[in-house]
Chains A and B, each alone.
Chain A
Amino acid sequence: MSERTIMDTKAIGGCAPEAAICARGIARDFEAGQSTIRVLHGIDTDIRSGEMTYVVGESGSGKTTLISIMCGILWPTEGEVKVFGTDIYKLSDTDLVNFRLNNIGFIFQQYNLIPSIDVASNAAVPLIAQGVPREEARERAKVLLDKLNIGNQADKLPRQLSGGQQQRVAIARALVHEPRLVVCDEPTAALDASSGRRVMDLLREVAVAPDRACIIVTHDNRIFDLADRIIVLEDGRVTHDGKEMPDDH
């Protein structure tokens, strides 16, 4: 895979048909008191299927803002985002929600599992939301929990599991409906080093597929070696885009 620079990306102009995400001219302003602050400055980037793409950068550089826009939960101030060819911010509110439900899996830093339903039901939430009958949804979730080595915990409540195990439940929930795009914001931030590493190894194993794109925001330099591609953000601009981390980091 060739090294790319911002220049290269811009030069492409239109969207490559095989791009999972094609973001063009993404800018985002936030109101801060009287003034508005621009936290993303015209970002152009493509995310490809079959790869694990890391978005890294200092705190406040705009990583979360960028992936939120790329996965359809935060409106950009400027620019457009096509996800698998669909210009998602031109969809109606309801269509966008359903687009996320059918195409995107989410993994959050705080897991955000529902405490009062068991692990299998938590992992089955996207299927249940799609209208799959509960028992069938749970069976499909259990298959995935098995793959993530927590099949024997399926009937427990989330609080009975360790942090690493809970994050694996969250991974199962993100993948259970076989989305074509998976986004994770700091998936290992709440975990100690070794369980973080184990979770990421597993994620790589189950999430990466030829027809699936996977974006991970992380600070955690111990897991950079798992990336197929690393995008570095600095003050809302892409300053590096390549297989390895740049030497000055």
Chain B
Amino acid sequence: MIWIAIRMLTGDAQKFYGLLFGIGFSTLLITQQMTIFVNLVERGASGVYNAPEAEVWVMDPVSRTTDVSYAMPGTALDKVRAVEGVEWAVPHLRAQATVRTKEGDLEGVGVIGVDDATLIGLPARMAQGDKAVLFAPDAVVVDDTGALRFFPPEVNPIGERLELNDQRAVVRGIADAIPSFTSTVVLYTRYSNALNFVPGTRNRLSFVLVGVADGQTPEDVADRIEAETGLKAETREQFARAGVDFIIENTGIPTNFGITVLLGFVVGIAIVGLTFSLFLRDNIKQFGALKAIGVTNAKIVQMVGAQAGMVGLIGYALGVIGTVAFIKGFGANPFFKGFYIPWQIPLISFAAVVIILSITGLIAIRSVLKTEPASVFR
């Protein structure tokens, strides 16, 4: 009988495709929007991920994220170095600046000053050039977002000059970095250079990046730094989380994406509910005949369940494939750089599909179950 149920479903091509479209569209909308949401919000932590060596971030107690920080006096560095369990500690400067490109356009950029000796604070990988290029005078490393934004495709950015806050800077390399939430271009330079590029106030030290000694946990070291220096210290995970939370709390993004996901869900219910009800209503005579001939209600429920299951699985697969294709298709676009689908998201959209089909299936099947077998003689 299950075979008959499936054939009834696929035999009505129009409604079958309508149902697949409904489920597929819902899945696509929910999966794709949640994927973009998660990836976008995770960019709030890009500053942390772009400095992978740092196990603990030390900052002024009022600082909140890599981009919302209050500078500390230079003495903070020595205080941190003195704490037990700190293997190394290096200065890290983050500031805003303006760049005049060769075309004469003015652009806001982030300037990051990395440790002069170790270059800790640079992203893990370079897209072009070696990290050591930063040792040259006036050298900056631009992130890949900037390489695309500031230079036309036919120009190799390496060796090009920029006017950074009215001072000469030469691009010596391109970093393979995770874009920031705002996709602001970031220029990396040595800490001492950064002090020159960025106009000075008394305190310039945004963060102290810390590596912990063997046998120590970042949590313990962070606690100890806070206790002994009065500064704020967070592990990489805590600080990344803080960056994500900041985006969630201070932008309309969760609401916007939440609304779209909800819309996907509602549209799914509407399309699938309507089509499924129509499909069952069109077949009500056949179901009535089956009931008269001797098919129990339990079997009828199984038949409709099989129909819903088939629509659900194929529609869901189409939706997920669509999302993967979308992410892959836009992979070259810097905005989508590094986008991935967290495994929880397909599970969530699968649950949504199950809920959509359960709700609509239960509503639609009632008419079939209520059909009197005697109605077939009318």
Tell me whether B296 and A94 are in contact (CB under 8 A).
yes
How far in angstroms is the closest Cβ of chain B from A249? 23
Binds B, one of A3-11, A106-114, A194-202, A225-233: A106-114
- The CA of A108 and the CA of B377, in the complex, are separated in Å by 6
Interface of B, secondary structure class, is: helix
- The CA of A116 and the CA of B378, in the complex, are separated in Å by 23
- The CA of A114 and the CA of B293, in the complex, are separated in Å by 13
- The CA of A121 and the CA of B7, in the complex, are separated in Å by 11
Given contacts A73-B374, A98-B294, A117-B7, contact A128 B289 (CB under 8 A): no
Q: Which residues of B contact A73 (CB under 8 A)?
A: 292, 372-374, 376-377
Considering only residues 118-136 of chain A, those with a C-beta below 8 Å from chain B are 121, 125-126, 128-129, 134
Considering only residues 171-199 of chain A, those with a C-beta below 8 Å from chain B are 173, 185
Q: Which residues of A contact B10 (CB under 8 A)?
A: 116
Q: Which residues of B contact A153 (CB under 8 A)?
A: none
Residue B4 lies at the interface, judged by CB distance under 8 Å to chain A: yes
- The CA of A98 and the CA of B295, in the complex, are separated in Å by 8
Q: Which residues of A contact B8 (CB under 8 A)?
A: 114, 116-117
Tell me whether B4 and A117 are in contact (CB under 8 A).
yes
Tell me whether B376 and A100 are in contact (CB under 8 A).
no
Q: Which residues of A contact B343 (CB under 8 A)?
A: none
- The CA of A125 and the CA of B285, in the complex, are separated in Å by 15
Considering only residues 4-41 of chain B, those with a C-beta below 8 Å from chain A are 4, 7-8, 10-12
Residue B290 lies at the interface, judged by CB distance under 8 Å to chain A: yes
Residue among B1, B296, B374 facing the most chain A CB atoms (10 A cut-off): B374
Q: Which residues of B contact A115 (CB under 8 A)?
A: 11, 286
Q: Which residues of A contact B289 (CB under 8 A)?
A: 106, 108, 112
Tell me whether A112 and B286 are in contact (CB under 8 A).
yes
How far in angstroms is the closest Cβ of chain B from A107? 10
How far in angstroms is the closest Cβ of chain A from B11? 2
Number of A interface residues in the complex (CB < 8 A)? 31
B374: nearest residue on chain A (CB-CB)?
A74
Residue B288 lies at the interface, judged by CB distance under 8 Å to chain A: yes
Q: Which residues of B contact A67 (CB under 8 A)?
A: 377
Q: Which residues of B contact A61 (CB under 8 A)?
A: none
Q: Which residues of A contact B12 (CB under 8 A)?
A: 116
Given contacts A106-B289, A112-B286, contact A128 B4 (CB under 8 A): yes
Q: Which residues of A contact B296 (CB under 8 A)?
A: 94, 97-98
Tell me whether B292 and A64 are in contact (CB under 8 A).
no
Residue A165 lies at the interface, judged by CB distance under 8 Å to chain B: no
- The CA of A146 and the CA of B138, in the complex, are separated in Å by 95
Residue among B10, B293, B373 facing the most chain A CB atoms (10 A cut-off): B293
Tell me whether A68 and B374 are in contact (CB under 8 A).
yes
B8: nearest residue on chain A (CB-CB)?
A116
A131: nearest residue on chain B (CB-CB)?
B1
Tell me whether B377 and A102 are in contact (CB under 8 A).
no
How far in angstroms is the closest Cβ of chain B from A62? 12
Tell me whether A114 and B7 are in contact (CB under 8 A).
yes
Residue A203 lies at the interface, judged by CB distance under 8 Å to chain B: no
Tell me whether A121 and B373 are in contact (CB under 8 A).
no
How far in angstroms is the closest Cβ of chain A from B23? 20
Considering only residues 82-109 of chain A, those with a C-beta below 8 Å from chain B are 94, 97-102, 104, 106, 108-109
Tell me whether A129 and B377 are in contact (CB under 8 A).
no
Tell me whether B4 and A102 are in contact (CB under 8 A).
no
Tell me whether B293 and A100 are in contact (CB under 8 A).
yes
How far in angstroms is the closest Cβ of chain B from A18? 25
Considering only residues 271-298 of chain B, those with a C-beta below 8 Å from chain A are 285-286, 288-296, 298
Q: Which residues of B contact A114 (CB under 8 A)?
A: 4, 7-8, 11, 286
Q: Which residues of B contact A112 (CB under 8 A)?
A: 285-286, 288-289, 376
Tell me whether A185 and B377 are in contact (CB under 8 A).
yes
Given contacts A73-B374, A74-B374, contact A129 B290 (CB under 8 A): yes
Q: Which residues of B contact A101 (CB under 8 A)?
A: 293-295
Q: Which residues of B contact A109 (CB under 8 A)?
A: 377
Considering only residues 8-36 of chain A, those with a C-beta below 8 Å from chain B are none
- The CA of A125 and the CA of B295, in the complex, are separated in Å by 10
Residue among B285, B299, B377 facing the most chain A CB atoms (10 A cut-off): B377
Tell me whether A64 and B11 are in contact (CB under 8 A).
no
Q: Which residues of A contact B291 (CB under 8 A)?
A: 97
- The CA of A78 and the CA of B281, in the complex, are separated in Å by 32
Q: Which residues of B contact A116 (CB under 8 A)?
A: 7-8, 10-12
| CB-contact partner of B294 in A68, A113, A126, A185, under 8 A | A126
Given contacts A114-B286, A117-B4, contact A64 B293 (CB under 8 A): no
- The CA of A100 and the CA of B7, in the complex, are separated in Å by 24
Q: Which residues of B contact A117 (CB under 8 A)?
A: 4, 7-8, 11
Given contacts A106-B289, A125-B4, contact A100 B377 (CB under 8 A): no
- The CA of A216 and the CA of B296, in the complex, are separated in Å by 25
Bitwise interface map of A from 132 to 151 toward B, beta carbon under 8 Å scored 1, else 0: 00100000000000000000
- The CA of A89 and the CA of B10, in the complex, are separated in Å by 37
B296: nearest residue on chain A (CB-CB)?
A97
How far in angstroms is the closest Cβ of chain B from A173? 8
What 3 pairs between A and B have smallest CB-CB spacing? A116-B11, A101-B294, A112-B289
| A interface residues (Cβ-Cβ under 8 A, vs B) | 64, 67-68, 73-74, 94, 97-102, 104, 106, 108-110, 112-117, 121, 125-126, 128-129, 134, 173, 185
Q: Write 8 A-B pairs (CB below 8 A) sorted by A numbering.
A: A67-B377, A100-B293, A101-B293, A112-B376, A115-B11, A115-B286, A128-B3, A129-B290
